[in-house]
Structure 1
Amino acid sequence: MKNKIEKKQQRRFFIYNMVAFALIFIAFGFIIFFQVQTSLYSRVDEDLLKQAELRGSFEPNGAFSGAPPGELSRLPDKDVTLKGQGRFVPIEWDSEGNILNKEAIGTQLYDELSTGFKLATSKLETVHSVTLDSGSSFRYVVYKAPSSNSSDVTYLQFISRVDAEKQLAENFGRILIICSIGSWILSIFASYYLSQKAMSPVLASWRKQTEFVANASHELRTPLTIIQNKLELLLTKPNDRIIDQMEPIALSLSEIRHLSKMTSDLLLLSRADSNATVLTEEMVDLNRFVTEVIAPYKEIAESKEMTIWTQLDSNRVSKIDPVRIQQLLVILLDNSLKYSQAGDSIGITTEVKDNYWIVEVCDTGQGIPEENREKVFERFYREEKSRNRETGGTGLGLAIAKWIVDLHKGKIEILDNLPKGTIFRVKIPIK
């Protein structure tokens, strides 16, 4: 069932990526094509519109007395029969739509215009495109003839052959389509790869969540089973005095406290996952703060025949969340006490270096193998494979510790305390 869901989700990512790539290629293809096409015709259109300057010097039969030298002298390679050989050919039209300067424009152009072109006068002084029945392509602009004109000329049309520009645009379009299709085919493989990469964190989170639920269920079931068994035992002896059943009662209370702590830790981690926790920072005297936090633990260590020593060299104030940092130090001290034995020592050192507050909690206990140092920050991970809760705790403490450090944008790492033991080093930026 899980594999089917994973494959379905991966296919969905694959289709989304493939469609996204296709839309991107289509959009960019249209943008590039129209930009190139516009650039190809821009000079022709600009020169056509400049012909408006020549209207004031118009004389019938295609003459422009005031035309700048060379203005109409650029030759088209193809239109060799055009009289005058101008790239921009002036055509005179009467009010009935007849060409008046047939001799001036040449027979080839006249024949093409006569069979496949009808003068449109609705949009004057605007560049238009037309492809005639002969296959020739033109750009043209139509102007109203000057009012001072005494001939039958009603409209002036300037026309330019653009077969070369059109052919270049078509060739570019074909190349662009081929390249886009090729790129899209490559994007199919990229989409498949990206869908797998996108699924990796999802699957990792899914497995982590499944493992978390399984571990939480196991951890919750064990104390509940113990409490149930002890309470059922008490029900079988209703006439006994409380003092006679102190052991099952005490054990049940211990398991209830264990459940309460685990529930609090789970709720805290749940808020951490939802980013719902906000730091409440305030200026704190670092040395004084650490001294107050570890004071109760010195008595606990003495009761277990251990010693706690300190070396505090961070005599300054910094902005931290005192509640969370206290929780962090308590977790690290509690961890050292659990994994140390009578005669071992636990040390707390602090210093300020490179604008970081560095706190080290070291012990001479059993230590943590190097291959397990990253795993200890995972939820429910414990060195005690037998899950002995007396020493292993809930398996959530170091996960909470790392979350607190990350919340302060710091770093926590585990080092060897030679010749034996472990060092937890915490680095928190000074504010």
Structure 2
Amino acid sequence: MLLGIIVFQLLQVSAYNQTDMSLSEMSTNRPLIEREISRLNQSDPFIDFPLDKPLPEGITPQEELFNTQIILWTENGEILNKEVLGGRYTQLNALTLDTTKLNEIIPVALAESNLSFRSITIENSQSLSSEVAYIQFLTNTNQIDDSLTTFQWILFVCMFIFWLISLGVSVFSSKMNMKPLLIAWQKQQEFVENASHELRTPLTIIQNNLQHLFTRPNQTILEQSPRIAQALSETRRLTNLTNDLLLIARSDGNQATIQPEETDVDRFLEQLIQPFAEIAEMQDKAFHFTNEISEPLSFDASKIHQVLVILLDNALKYTQAKDEIQLVAKQINPKWWQVVVRNTGSTIPDTQKKLIFERFYREEQSRNQETGGYGLGLAIAKQIVKNHHGKLFVSDWTNQGVQFTLQLPIIQKNLHTEKN
């Protein structure tokens, strides 16, 4: 709005600038003034400069403009050169002499004839006629005023249209900027609700068992051992859940610590898979391990250990006897190395492949309840890999099976001890 006002004011000043300059020059042009007085004295409105001779000094063709009038006034405010004005006098007879602003250019409007002028009035101090007291120069500005009015309306309409457009863009931009915040807020609300629900179940079991013990004060510990064991089991599950929630909270708060150190990959993986290979053997499942990396690599061994434990634990949970589990580590190019954990268990539908990394998401509720899962493992693994500037994704393996691929950069650059 302010810009539009400034533009209009500048245009208005520039539009009247040429007219005001012409009026100023005419008010000081004695030959032109004396010609008008000569017309009055000789009662001949047709006296003019000879066409076959040069114009007097100080006279230019521009000053003979059709829309410029010269009014000769008496001391009492009467127009003297009515005959010279001719038919134009009927339009100018509403003029009144204003001597309060002599030698100043002012706007003059005649409401009766709907005419507007720029005007300058001077005092006749040196003239051939004593009747002429004041001389007024008028230049019609209706055309300029109409153009300015049209421009003003166009400017107003354009400003209004662009204001609406800018308002729409602002609303759209605000919504787009708020969208991530709203999504984050929604996820936080879901996280709190899910966490509360998961915490409530083990707490309820522990509370019920303890209350039951108070109702049997004369029984021995051995007699109540099943309830005590169940309470301890739920306490351990509650501790694990609390630790997982704390890890996720630290990751969300950018407080997850990454401490990369040079590690022998072969020794690291052999120690990691040993208990899982033994469990697989007891469950009549085939477990195969292949490592193609010979050089030590730099990464946070404890964090990557946690990721692989989550992946191998899921592989054992979601496979049956006679199924196969594989862990393959290799370098895929000079910049990346990867660990693939695959199994021949049930596949994951494409619609759920991205969802399984969400917090508290469970592909099969009943199966997660049986295995004691909370739907946090893969979310934690994803966050740890992200802190390492790596990638973790899931895909199908052959026609029956799932594989999780963990990719990490070989040269860990700019991995701070505290993630910024």
Bin the TM-score by the shorter chain. 0.5 to 0.7
Q: Does 1:277 align with 2:254?
A: yes
Cross-structure match for 1:6: none
Query: 2:314 is matched with which residue: 321, 326, 335?
Result: 335
Q: Does 1:45 align with 2:23?
A: no
Encode CA deviations 1:263-311: one digit per residue, 9 max, x unaligned. 2333444455xx52156566654xx275576454312213303536243
Query: 2:395 is matched with which residue: 415, 419, 423?
Result: 415
Residue 298 and residue 197 in structure 1: after superposition, are their counterparts in 2 closer, same or farther (change >3 A)? closer
Cross-structure match for 2:110: 132
Q: Give the superposition deviation at 1:334.
A: 3.4
Q: Would you say how many aligned residue pairs link Structure 1 and Structure 2? A: 383
Encode CA deviations 1:185-214: one digit per residue, 9 max, x unaligned. 999999999999999888877765665454
Q: Which sections of structure 2, spanning at least 5 residues, go unmatched?
A: 36-54, 282-286, 414-420
CA contact (8 A) 2:392 2:407 kept: yes
Q: Does 1:298 align with 2:278?
A: no
Distance in 2 between residues matched to 1:309 and 1:316, nearest whole Å: 18
Q: Which sections of structure 1, spanning at least 5 residues, go unmatched?
A: 1-26, 76-84
Residue 348 and residue 94 in structure 1: after superposition, are their counterparts in 2 closer, same or farther (change >3 A)? farther
Distance in 1 between residues matched to 2:93 and 2:333, nearest whole Å: 87
Q: Give the superposition deviation at 1:150.
A: 4.0
Moved more, 379-388 or 323-332: 323-332
TM-score, with normalisation over the residues of structure 2? 0.66
Matches within 5 A, 1:114-193: 114-115=94-95, 118=98, 121=101, 124=104, 129-134=107-112, 136-138=114-116, 140=118, 142=120, 150=126, 159-171=138-150
Cross-structure match for 1:108: 88
Query: 2:61 is matched with which residue: 70, 93, 108?
Result: 70
Letter paired with 1:70: P
Matches within 5 A, 1:350-369: 350-351=330-331, 353=333, 358-369=338-349
Distance in 2 between residues matched to 1:62 and 1:279, nearest whole Å: 96
Distance in 1 between residues matched to 2:326 and 2:109, nearest whole Å: 92
CA contact (8 A) 2:15 2:144 kept: no
Query: 1:382 is matched with which residue: 362, 387, 395?
Result: 362
Encode CA deviations 1:94-116: one digit per residue, 9 max, x unaligned. 99988888777777379638536
Identity %: 34
CA contact (8 A) 2:250 2:256 kept: no
Encode CA deviations 1:98-141: one digit per residue, 9 max, x unaligned. 8888777777379638536746639956xx54432235454636
Query: 1:217 is matched with which residue: 189, 193, 196?
Result: 196
TM-score, with normalisation over the residues of structure 1? 0.64
Residue 239 and residue 157 in structure 1: after superposition, are their counterparts in 2 closer, same or farther (change >3 A)? farther
Q: Give the superposition deviation at 1:375.
A: 2.0
CA contact (8 A) 1:49 1:141 kept: no
* Bigger radius of gyration among the two: 2
CA contact (8 A) 1:360 1:424 kept: yes
CA contact (8 A) 1:57 1:67 kept: yes
CA contact (8 A) 1:136 1:161 kept: no
